[in-house]
Amino acid sequence: MTLFVPLLSVVSLDPVVGAISAGNAIVLKPSEMAPASSSLLAKLVADYLDSSCIKVVEGAVPETSALLEQKWDKILYTGPLLIYNHLPSPLTESFMS
**Digit-coded pLDDT (tens) for 4-35:** 666 555 556 777 888 888 888 888 888 888 88
**Nearest Cα residue to 25 out of 55, 57, 60, 66:** 55
**Structural domains in the chain?**
2-92 (3.40.605.10)
Three-state secondary structure call for residue 3: strand
pTM: 0.72
Helices and strands of the chain, counted as H and E runs: 5, 4
> pLDDT value at position 77?
74
User: Whats the size of the chain, residue-wise?
Assistant: 97
Task: Report the pLDDT value the prediction gives residue 67, as an integer from 0 to 100.
Answer: 87
* Residue 85 burial by Cβ neighbours in a 10 Å radius (0-12, 13-18, 19+): exposed
